[in-house]
């Protein structure tokens, strides 16, 4: 049975359409979604009604896509509905809709196609990482609050710890929560400044049509403060990872000397666990120094392997795409594990020219892992912002991954930064 289109009325009530089937979007085009690409809405996901956007479904009788400009028996049009999937899930199709004039720009979420089937919501995506570290069922609010109280009592003067307690209790950051639950990956934000002006920056939006969903850290922690947070976690946590470079900061490579000293302090006290850096890769020389100091893994974020689209999204202030490639090579040369945080946007990520450029980048750098994370941004705002022009039909996100697996058998795929000594090869799943 084909999944039905879902839509909402002006009050936000969601309905399934009696005739139209679910449609999806890749780039600017509408597509039918194969049933094999659908999964039940994951626990911990959200549904959004999209203001100023009319739902688009597929009419199997007329064999065409149809916009819900009006609904029988209801005032007003049928508004589009999208899913924001829980972490560890990657989307394969965007929600399909037509934008009306003067519609507001959507806030920074990923808008996955969602429909109704067999008595429940189904989404166009798949679980790309089996790691349970951010599954909603694994978080107990009382345990988190107790963990915050305990750590703050033991280190009351540590500014970084106070900042992370705010992240855990106010913003609900899963990584910060896991720090206070003493498990898995913990965050180490350090940089109030940045050398990029990303269209979808999570911590700072100046003169933007949407707000940043979180506030950027306003101070630079001392190396001793960083070590005080990281060392107990690396000593005690299951599958311990501590990561510089978080959504609540700028670019950590701009604080290279502080990070280098912090890494040395940490490694003098504990050899266990993984020290990771999430970065834009804008300082290859700094990357080499950090790896030499004891950094275990590097994750570089990319929206595109093509310099034109990369620069249009990141808007780098003092570096070029060639420096990002050099940083990947520097980390590999130093013996670190290297990942791409490849920001998935159906229609762009799987554009044939994009996939070819990504394959060339992988061949140059021999990266170890691609993290398939959804790009959080208004689709129309993004396509206009980077000036994207498709010359061919997209491959499909799932087909893109299969092609990369075939052409690069060493390459792993996931969603999170692994505790490398304990990770399993996802290609063998």
**For residues 361 and 367, what is the distance between their CA atoms, to the nearest angstrom?**
9
pLDDT of residue 422: 43
List pLDDT tens digits, range 110-124: 999 999 999 999 999
Measuring CA to CA, how many Å separate 131 from each of 89, 299, 422? 11, 17, 11
Contact 216, 250 (CB under 8 A): yes
**For residues 415 and 184, what is the distance between their CA atoms, to the nearest angstrom?**
14
Within its chain, how far is the Cα of 113 from the centroid? 17
Report if pTM > 0.85: yes
pLDDT of residue 206: 80
**For residues 98 and 165, what is the distance between their CA atoms, to the nearest angstrom?**
41
Q: Which has the closest alpha carbon to 136: 277, 41, 241?
A: 41
**Mean pLDDT of the 241-251 span:** 94
Percent of the chain with pLDDT over 70: 97
pLDDT of residue 235: 97
Measuring CA to CA, how many Å separate 185 from each of 30, 343, 425? 38, 20, 19
How far the first Cα of the chain sits from its last, in Å, is: 28
**Strand-pair category, 64-67 with 97-99:** unpaired
List pLDDT tens digits, range 54-95: 999 999 999 999 999 977 767 679 999 999 999 999 999 999
Per-position b or e across 213-222, b if 16+ CB within 10 A of its CB: bbebbeebbb
Inform me whether the pLDDT recorded for 208 exceeds 90: no
Where is pLDDT greater, at 26 or 215? 26
Joined tokens for residue 175 = 């990584």
For 354, residues 6+ apart whose C-beta sits below 8 A from its C-beta are 304, 305, 306, 309, 348
Inform me whether the pLDDT recorded for 427 exceeds 60: no
Q: How many CB atoms lie within 10 A of CB 39?
A: 15
Domains and their CATH numbers in the chain: 4-127 (no CATH), 136-428 (3.20.20.70)
Contact 92, 37 (CB under 8 A): yes
Contact 417, 241 (CB under 8 A): yes
Contact 297, 336 (CB under 8 A): yes
Contact 48, 41 (CB under 8 A): no
**Mean pLDDT of the 155-165 span:** 97
**Mean pLDDT of the 403-421 span:** 95
Contact 144, 181 (CB under 8 A): yes
Joined tokens for residue 401 = 């991954």
Burial class from Cβ neighbours inside 10 Å (0-12, 13-18, 19+) for residue 394 reads: buried
Within its chain, how far is the Cα of 235 from the centroid? 28
**Mean pLDDT of the 147-176 span:** 96
**Mean pLDDT of the 158-163 span:** 97
**For residues 30 and 311, what is the distance between their CA atoms, to the nearest angstrom?**
27
Give the ranges where 4-158 is alpha helix by DSSP (H).
141-154
Joined tokens for residue 406 = 């075939």
For the chain, the average pLDDT equals: 95
pLDDT of residue 425: 37
């Amino acid at each position: 049975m084909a999944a039905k289109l879902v839509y909402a009325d002006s009050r936000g009530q969601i309905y399934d359409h009696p005739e139209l089937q679910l449609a999806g979007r890749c780039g600017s085009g509408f597509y039918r979604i194969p049933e094999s690409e659908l999964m039940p809405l994951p626990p911990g996901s959200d549904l959004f009604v999209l203001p100023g956007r009319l739902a688009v479904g597929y009419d199997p009788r007329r064999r065409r896509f149809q916009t819900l400009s009006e609904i029988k028996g209801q005032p007003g049009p049928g508004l589009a509905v999208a899913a924001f999937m829980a972490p560890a899930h990657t989307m394969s199709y965007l929600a399909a809709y037509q934008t009306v004039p003067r519609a507001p720009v959507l806030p920074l979420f990923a808008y996955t196609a969602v429909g109704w089937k067999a008595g429940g919501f189904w989404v166009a995506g798949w679980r790309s990482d089996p790691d349970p570290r951010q599954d909603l069922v694994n978080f107990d609010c009382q345990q988190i609050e107790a963990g915050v109280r305990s750590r703050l009592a033991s280190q009351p003067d540590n500014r970084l710890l106070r900042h992370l307690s705010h992240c855990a209790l106010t913003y609900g950051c899963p990584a910060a929560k896991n720090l206070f639950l003493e498990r898995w990956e913990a965050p180490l934000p350090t940089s109030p400044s940045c050398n990029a002006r990303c269209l979808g920056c999570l911590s700072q939006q100046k003169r933007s049509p949407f707000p940043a969903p979180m506030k950027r850290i306003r101070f630079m922690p001392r190396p001793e403060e960083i070590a005080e947070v990281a060392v107990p976690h690396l000593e005690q946590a299951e599958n311990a990872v501590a990561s510089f470079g978080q959504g609540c900061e700028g670019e950590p490579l701009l604080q290279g000397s502080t990070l280098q000293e912090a890494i040395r302090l940490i490694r003098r006290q504990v050899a266990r666990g993984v020290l990771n850096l999430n970065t834009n890769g804008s300082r290859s020389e700094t990357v080499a120094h950090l790896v030499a100091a004891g950094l275990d893994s590097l994750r570089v974020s990319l929206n595109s392997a093509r310099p034109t689209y990369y620069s249009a999204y990141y808007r780098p202030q003092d570096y070029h795409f060639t420096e990002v490639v050099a940083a990947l090579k520097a980390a590999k040369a130093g013996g670190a594990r290297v990942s791409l945080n490849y920001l998935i946007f159906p229609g762009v990520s799987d554009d044939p020219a994009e996939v070819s450029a990504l394959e060339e980048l992988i061949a140059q750098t021999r990266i170890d892992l691609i993290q398939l994370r959804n790009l959080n941004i208004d689709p129309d705002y993004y396509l206009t912002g980077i000036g994207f022009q498709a010359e061919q039909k997209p491959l499909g996100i799932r087909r893109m991954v299969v092609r990369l697996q075939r052409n690069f058998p060493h390459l792993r795929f996931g969603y999170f930064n692994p505790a490398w000594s304990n990770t399993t090869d996802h290609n063998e799943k």
